[in-house]
Structure 1
Amino acid sequence: MPIEIDVKKTAVLSMDFQNDIIHPDAPLAQAAGFAKMVQETGILPRSAKLLDAARQAGMKVIHVMVEFGPDAAPMPTRGAFFRMLGAGGPTLVPGTWGAQIHDDVAPKPGDEIVKKSMISAFVGSNLDEVLKKNGITDIAMIGVATTFVVEGTTWSAVDKGYNCIVIEDCVCAGSKEAHDAAIQTSLTYLADLCKADEFIAAIQK
């Protein structure tokens, strides 16, 4: 069944498309496998096309960024991901190239930027306030990684009463297996899943 979208009540969240996370020149992106999977899946051009379609439909487009500044919560020291963060030198530092959103999906006039401090887009950010201010009840998510920001934000969102959509060919993880596991074990139960072309068709009606 085709997905139905209310463009006035749905925001597109473009999450963590930052150089340190996805660019092939960034140590973390290489170590975590994100750079490789971004290239193999082709999610950047597909996401750029979706973002442009959302703008043309008059939808709210929100870019979510993570930055580890001096006021951020202490970084956990357990877990392979956090060990990778520490091993490559300073990562996602405010004002650096690594913290910038990749040029292919960079914000455009009219978009909004929300900065968070950890994995979920709701942690340490004003995202909830921005969504409520704009009358948003549904969020459609794209970004990296499926197993981190996408899954984490979905859990936070449903706890707050938001309806979630995951555009599954505009997200990826450090491996196909990790992506598939997140889609099949939690996201399929917590969110509606669709492809970019389906979403674009729904908002162009």
Structure 2
Amino acid sequence: SKPQPVQQAAWQSRRQSMPETIYPRGRTALLLVDPYNDFLSERGKVFPRIKPIVDEVGLLDNLRRLDGAVRAAGIQVVIVPHRRWEPGDYEDWDHPNPSQRLIMQRHSFARGEWGGEWHPDFAPKPGDLIAGEHWGQSGFAGTNLDFLLKQKGITHVIVVGLLANTCIESTARFAMELGYHVTLVRDATAAFSHEMMHAAHELNGPTYAHSIQTTAEVIAALPAAPRSKEPVQ
């Protein structure tokens, strides 16, 4: 079921307590988490489970708009990929988590297969950074993501992609623990249910995120596109 009016009012109150966010060029990065075909394409293994939320929030169009806007604003884009499944993954682990068990059963994001390839609209472009693959749910745990961001002088991260209540939440919460300013984008992610989206943005998100915005709000807050350099005479 969808959040009730009283719950929406509580979220609005929390949101109003968040200060206005400014995204400084050169210090801000868009973290695009798990942009695989299995998540974002109609034939993907996971897509049918998130399609209702994807369609409701306009996820694909919002990701396209945000991707274009941050690039135009000179914001660094960082791809934060999940481990691509390979034969033998997780099978001899003492305690794989429930998500890893599902990946083991379904072979989600399989390396060398279409489902484990980037969605064509969100494949890395020149100048993008690609972090190491994360095995769990945080894009920081066991990867070079923090190192890459620090080498670029990044202090602010906008976290989008899949899934709202797993990899997005874990990556964003970990970013906060590492000292980054964290923005969640309510309609640039998805989950398996309204309850999961509600938990991610109305219950858990306000306890750690510095800003929870819509795609339109983030785009409006981005710095103006940098002026092209004057031609050398």
**Ranges of 4+ aligned residues in structure 1 off by more than 6 Å:** 70-73
The one-letter amino acid paired with 1:29 is F
Moved more, 138-147 or 70-79: 70-79
2:31 equivalent to 1:9? no
Q: Structure 1 or 2: larger strand share?
A: 1
- Give the equivalent residue in structure 2 for 1:194: 213
- Give the equivalent residue in structure 2 for 1:95: 112
What CA distance in whole angstroms lies between the structure 2 residues aligned with 1:84 and 1:72? 12
State the number of aligned residues.
201
- Give the equivalent residue in structure 2 for 1:124: 142
Q: 1:156, CA displacement in angstroms? A: 1.2
SS class of match (1:66): coil
Kindly indicate whether the alpha-carbon contact (under 8 Å) linking 2:45 and 2:115 is maintained by their aligned counterparts in 1. no
Gapped regions of structure 2 (runs ≥ 5): 1-18, 225-233
- The 1:14–1:44 alpha-carbon spacing in structure 2 relative to 1, beyond 3 Å, is same
What CA distance in whole angstroms lies between the structure 1 residues aligned with 2:21 and 2:174? 22
Q: 1:19, CA displacement in angstroms? A: 1.3
What CA distance in whole angstroms lies between the structure 1 residues aligned with 2:202 and 2:70? 26
- Give the equivalent residue in structure 2 for 1:183: 201
Kindly indicate whether the alpha-carbon contact (under 8 Å) linking 1:2 and 1:198 is maintained by their aligned counterparts in 2. no
Moved more, 189-198 or 116-125: 116-125
- Give the equivalent residue in structure 2 for 1:158: 176
Q: 1:2, CA displacement in angstroms? A: 4.5
2:194 equivalent to 1:146? no
1:65 to 81, 86, 106: 81
2:151 equivalent to 1:106? no
- TM-score using structure 2 length: 0.78
Residues 12-36 of structure 1 show CA distances to partners (whole Å, capped at 9, x for unaligned) of: 0011121122333233333xx2234
- The 1:108–1:179 alpha-carbon spacing in structure 2 relative to 1, beyond 3 Å, is same
What CA distance in whole angstroms lies between the structure 1 residues aligned with 2:100 and 2:173? 20
The one-letter amino acid paired with 2:213 is C
What CA distance in whole angstroms lies between the structure 1 residues aligned with 2:32 and 2:218? 14
What CA distance in whole angstroms lies between the structure 2 residues aligned with 1:146 and 1:173? 6
Residues 83-109 of structure 1 show CA distances to partners (whole Å, capped at 9, x for unaligned) of: 432332x22222321111212222222
Q: 1:72, CA displacement in angstroms? A: 6.5
Kindly indicate whether the alpha-carbon contact (under 8 Å) linking 2:40 and 2:60 is maintained by their aligned counterparts in 1. no
SS class of match (2:132): strand
- The 1:128–1:78 alpha-carbon spacing in structure 2 relative to 1, beyond 3 Å, is closer
Question: Percent identity at matched positions?
Answer: 29
Q: 1:128, CA displacement in angstroms? A: 0.6
What CA distance in whole angstroms lies between the structure 1 residues aligned with 2:126 and 2:155? 23
Q: 1:186, CA displacement in angstroms? A: 1.4
1:19 to 16, 21, 37: 37
Gapped regions of structure 1 (runs ≥ 5): none
What CA distance in whole angstroms lies between the structure 2 residues aligned with 1:2 and 1:160? 21
SS class of match (2:23): coil
